[in-house]
Amino acid sequence: MKTTCQHSLFIFGFLVLSLSSIAQKLDVRIFSDEVIDAIAFSTRDKEYHLVNEDSVLFSFAANQNLRIVNKDTCFLLIHDSLQWNLNAFTLGEDTASSGFFINLSHLETSARAYQGDLHISHADHGVLLINRVNLEDYTAGVVEAEGGYAGTLEYYKTQAVICRTYALRNIYRHEDEGFQLCDRTHCQVYHGKAGNSLIIEASRQTHGQVIVDENFKLINAVYHSNSGGQTANSVDVWTSQLPYLVSVTDTFSLAGNHAKWHRSISLTEWHIFLENRGVNIGKLSDEEMIQRLQKRIATMNFGHVQIPMREIRKYFGLKSAFFEIEIIGKDLVFKGKGYGHGVGLAQEGAMEMARAGYTYDSIISHYYKNTSIVGLQLLKVFEGLEKVSGEE
């Protein structure tokens, strides 16, 4: 018995030692939606190396520029009087630096700052710009892009933990395309290095923290802008029920800018929508088409036809699937609450909770039920011990 305990402790200690030295890196495709013709690249405070097939072709000192032109089958790189024609290459840093600037020639915007390395190549779906970035730097960048500038430290800590969790839970989403995550809402919006010192501090204070369910698995830490006073069950939005993504009362969102909304359409447009889904308009009175509700529902009933709220939202481009219907003259009016899919954390509600003095762990437990916050090292150790136990 004593020998077994020592063996387990040895495994645990070995895993902690080995994992503590691993810095998690992510491969994130940037400028995902853009057609890329030419790129302006600039170093910042330290040098970057131009690497092709494991060979260093050139080292750019701090504050130097490189122009990259897409030639469809290769890239033309221009730096002062030097030129290279390459099919694929990496611009990499030796040590941690403040990163690099990058801009596309056709964009009338300021250059974006990124940290880490930049890999450029061609693929079937266009030019790939892949930023290999440290998980914590990526987390801070996502919080700044997704979380806004009006938050408190405790809110940003909340957002940092859920953004980090979401990224790792979805890390294989683009694996078949040669990268892990994109920089769009499909994954999480990411525009490079965070500049907000409060966000950077929030990422630092929650370093490596993620959310797990009762089975010690990373949760799908989805979030939205405003719940309208009640979050949605995941099954009502995506057809699969997760035990931690259940509807909760969220009075904190009621003070948010997106707590309420209105949208008017013509009755004719509404009738066409219903008829195309099998509703017999002739048998429905205007009163039967009025839908009033005090809480979220999954479907609306029109005679014997049930129409999912999410389908109505998608068809008419509504801000949420939390609304009631009124008829005013020849118009139908959607009187809605909240903004977004409504599942998981509501950002405006979380902001209000933070202002009211709630800590980030309390905010997370309010929106994600039956979950815990753990460090990545503990999560990896747990998974490692599970594998060892399974082998035995």
**Chain segment 4-15, per-residue pLDDT in tens:** 333 333 222 333
18 pLDDT higher than 60: no
Residue type, 57: L
Residue 36 sits in the same domain as residue 118? yes
Q: How many H helices and E strands in the chain?
A: 11, 22
Residue 79 sits in the same domain as residue 216? no
Cα Rg for the chain, rounded, in angstroms?
25
What pLDDT shows up at residue 149? 78
Range of the domain at 326: 260-337
d(CA 221, CA 234): 11
What pLDDT shows up at residue 351? 96
Residue 31 sits in the same domain as residue 71? yes
- pTM assigned to the model: 0.86
Domain boundary among 320, 337, 354: 337
> Can you point out the beta strands (E) in 6-136?
25-29, 38-43, 48-52, 55-60, 65-70, 75-79, 82-86, 89-93, 100-104, 112-114, 117-123, 126-134
Q: Is residue 164 part of a domain?
A: yes
Q: What residues contact residue 344 under an 8 Å CB cut-off, 6+ apart?
A: 162, 220, 221, 222, 223, 224, 231, 245, 367, 368
CA distances from 72 to 69, 76, 83, 132 (A): 9, 10, 17, 23
d(CA 131, CA 336): 39
Q: Is residue 245 part of a domain?
A: yes
Residue 232 sits in the same domain as residue 190? no
Q: Is residue 215 part of a domain?
A: yes
Q: Is residue 7 part of a domain?
A: no
Residue 383 binned pLDDT confidence (cut-offs 50, 70, 90): low
d(CA 371, CA 291): 35
Residue type, 319: K
What pLDDT shows up at residue 6? 32
Give the pair of three-digit tokens for residue 328. 């005013």
Number of domains in the chain: 3
99-113, 344-358, 371-385 — most confident range:
344-358
Residue 62 sits in the same domain as residue 177? yes
Q: Is residue 203 part of a domain?
A: no
Residue 105 sits in the same domain as residue 215? no
**Half-sphere exposure of residue 29, counting CA atoms within 13 Å on the CB side?**
27
What pLDDT shows up at residue 196? 94
Which whole number is the average pLDDT over 251-273? 95
What pLDDT shows up at residue 5? 34
Residue 279 sits in the same domain as residue 368? no
Domain boundary among 301, 317, 337: 337
Determine the 3-state secondary structure of 166 from DSSP: helix
What pLDDT shows up at residue 239? 80
218 pLDDT higher than 60: yes
Residue 194 sits in the same domain as residue 302? no
Which whole number is the average pLDDT over 316-324? 96
Helices (H), the chain: 2-20, 135-147, 153-169, 197-205, 234-238, 267-275, 286-289, 309-316, 347-355, 360-367, 376-391
111 pLDDT higher than 50: yes
Q: Is residue 155 part of a domain?
A: yes
On whether the CB atoms of residues 130 and 28 are closer than 8 A, the answer is yes
What pLDDT shows up at residue 12? 27
d(CA 324, CA 322): 7
Give the pair of three-digit tokens for residue 319. 């801000």
Residue 138 sits in the same domain as residue 194? yes
Q: Is residue 3 part of a domain?
A: no
Residue 287 sits in the same domain as residue 315? yes
pLDDT tens column, 24-34: 899 999 999 89
Provide the percentage of residues in the chain whose pLDDT is more than 70. 90
Residue 48 sits in the same domain as residue 141? yes
**Angle (CA) 310 314 320, round 5°:** 60
What pLDDT shows up at residue 379? 73
Q: Is residue 277 part of a domain?
A: yes
Residue 148 sits in the same domain as residue 292? no
On whether the CB atoms of residues 96 and 45 are closer than 8 A, the answer is no
Which whole number is the average pLDDT over 274-298? 84
What pLDDT shows up at residue 45? 87
